Amino acid sequence: MADERVRDVQKWLNQTYGKVSGYEKVTEDGVTSWATIYSLREGLQHELKITELGQGFGTATRAALRKIIKDIVPGTTGNIVKLIKGAFWCKGIGPTNFTDTFDSPLYNAIQTLQGYAGVTPDGLLSVNLMAALFDMSAFVLIAGRGDKRIREIQQELNGKYSSTGNDDDEGLGILPCDGIYQRDTNTALIYALQVVLKVKNPNGNYGPGTISATPTVNPGESGEIVRIIQYGLYVNGFYTGDFNANYDDDVASSVIAFRKFMNLPEFTGISDLTVIKGLLTSNGNTDRDSNMFDTSTQLTDQDVLNMKTYGFSIAGRYLTGTVGTGSEERDKNLTPEEIQRITNGGLSIFPIYEEGGYELKYFNGYQGYKDGFLAVAAARELGFPSGATIYFAVDVDVLDGDIEGTIAPYIIGVINSMNDTEYSPGIYGTRNVCLHGEKLGMKYSFVADMSYGWSGNLGFKMPQNWAFDQFVEYSIGGTPIDQGASSGKDPGHNTFKPRPVETISPEEAIKSITSSGDLINGKISFDKSTVLVDEPYLKVSAKAATEFKHEGKGISFSVKNGKFSVNEEAMMKAFLKENKIPSAAADIIIDKFKGSTIPSKLTAGSFTFEMSNSGVELLELKITYNLLKVDNKTLSGECSMTLDVQFTPLNYVKEELPAIFKQLGEDTVKALGPNITLGIVLVVGVVIFVALAPETMTAAIVAFLTLYIPKLILD
């Protein structure tokens, strides 16, 4: 929503600095965004006589501010004061006016921000406060996401550690106080620990100096380090008591619970390096013992003996692929001979699938569906037993805002493609990626905690479903490995038997599916689109392909054992709502699909939808079927069928519904109610004739089409 005071700030910025070299004009839309913050920063830099303007609030800006900050006091006038007031308006703390005078309303605004941030509300500006002000960081509890006790931690950290008292060292700075455990909060906890331990040059990074200074803290002790342990236990979800700096029984029992969850023996209430670093970093104590490793190297008998001697019992190995490039390229895939060597040596194996998950652009729904299909085929060929979890690698640091558009569709694709197989889907990635995977339905997580500096690890809890925790890399006997811990959820596998399955080719599958029914009897082709319906109100064409496709925005139906099942119901409801479908119609769509049997030869697969809506004049729908099993036979290769539907609702109402209602009596209507095809036609008709609003009419037609067209094609 636009804020007229923010718009005033934007207009003034463009008028005042529009001709200054390096200044980037901001859109005058009244919405606070990073673009507005950048313009405020550039204006401030110009007033500080910095010639090369930039979007950051870096060393040069801080140094220039440090020289004048104590002179910006009540009574001061000038553009810097006006910039400060503009920043306050963008922060949502109104200084009452937008003049260039440091007046009492500005003084009050400064005190308000200081109170929100947890620092002394003295009304005086500092470099740290200016950095927090000229930023998008929030200092109020974020509704629906923020935790008031985490905000309490953030405020206390700011209050105690934001400044060292040295004018040349701003210390920790003033960090967000929004109640969300995040990277900045995590860094602040480590910084606070370093200050308490008197580590030289504290920087928020848990390095060798901090490791060597970390003490063992016992129950009964007290002090700031105990408070930091309490903070760490709380943000990791293991403590609900007071932050009173007393190591009481509640703290000790919370430490025991954390040790057991992370599998960090001995399971005592003592906080040593393993506990403290484990609370504040993702990789924890990298010198700790564990029983799992993974490697991209095909293991020899000597390798297996070395791993066993080092105390490992579980090996993570790749199902397919190569590693390296050019002359350095080598196979990384597990082989039957290697399986024999590993299991004869007393180790078990869990499978990893990675064929390109090193870049964000790799991940989408189609790729997930394809990877799941290929991984299952490889696991069967190698003989992994029924029930094995396959871990799909997201080997990249994905920013939180990018996950929904890339990793989430990929995960859904994997889950859908494995829906009717004997294997379970798992995820490898940062804590944040694994948390998303856990929520979407991945059975277990293999957490890439070794990359402790990744944005997806700092400030995120460990997922509850973690099976493996990768924390350090090194070589044994010249063979590089990644060492990890095991939670016990997945013990790996030591019994293998190849599992041949009856397959069907894509061509045979399409022929079988389209061999019944007058509408599509033998008409669908792999090389061109075929028109199936050509009526004044409805046009349907179809085309098959020897590849999986993913259309739409996450709306997904799965087919398992010949029945529909809705995946991500909440996501689907949101999608239907975006397309102006009332909740009642959305409920009809979901409820009618869930558990209903498909009277066709499609045994397993998925459906994705893409919809475009031009009011009541034209509705276009793309339905893509990805096939996994037909006639209970597994597809030997990728196969999909896409329907393109064009529908004119008003023509349909005029030409079809009156005739249907005229021919059907009340008893017939009741009898047809449970029938998906005609029953939904009647539901649509009732909605249309009871509520003639065009939007309702279109929504009802969409509900009908979503149900009717797939049934029409497959029946």
The DSSP element (H or E) to which 456 belongs, if any, is none
Regarding pTM above 0.95, the answer is no
Q: At 146, is the secondary structure helix, strand, or coil?
A: coil
Looking at 293-297, 478-482, 519-523, 591-595, which range is the least confident one? 591-595
Residue 585 contacts by C-beta under 8 Å, 6 or more apart in sequence?
576, 687, 699, 700, 702, 703
Q: Three-state secondary structure along 528-541?
A: CCEEEEECCCEEEE
Give the per-residue pLDDT at 331: 94
Distance CA 208, CA 206 (A): 7
Give the per-residue pLDDT at 569: 61
Q: Which tops the pLDDT comparison, 633 or 607? A: 633
First to last CA, the chain: 48
Give the per-residue pLDDT at 559: 74
With cut-offs at 50, 70 and 90, classify the pLDDT of residue 696. very low
| Share above pLDDT 70 across residues of the chain, in percent, rounded to a whole number | 81
With cut-offs at 50, 70 and 90, classify the pLDDT of residue 647. confident
510 pLDDT above the threshold of 50: yes
Closest to 123 in 3D by CA, of 106, 139, 107: 107
With cut-offs at 50, 70 and 90, classify the pLDDT of residue 677. very low
Q: Which tops the pLDDT comparison, 660 or 144? A: 144
CA distances from 235 to 147, 211, 230, 517 (A): 10, 21, 9, 59
Q: What architecture is domain 292-486?
A: Alpha-Beta Barrel (3.20)
With cut-offs at 50, 70 and 90, classify the pLDDT of residue 69. very high
Count other C-beta atoms under 10 Å from residue 314's C-beta: 23
85 pLDDT above the threshold of 90: yes
Whole-number mean pLDDT of the chain? Answer: 86
The DSSP element (H or E) to which 602 belongs, if any, is strand 602-614
Domain ranges of the chain: 4-133, 148-280, 292-486, 506-714
Write the pLDDT tens digit of every residue in 157-206: 999 998 765 555 568 899 999 999 999 999 999 999 999 999 999 999 99
374 pLDDT above the threshold of 90: yes
Closest to 594 in 3D by CA, of 559, 571, 561, 564: 564
With cut-offs at 50, 70 and 90, classify the pLDDT of residue 668. very low
Q: At 605, is the secondary structure helix, strand, or coil?
A: strand
With cut-offs at 50, 70 and 90, classify the pLDDT of residue 686. very low
429 pLDDT above the threshold of 90: yes
Write the pLDDT tens digit of every residue in 342-354: 999 999 999 999 9
With cut-offs at 50, 70 and 90, classify the pLDDT of residue 712. very low
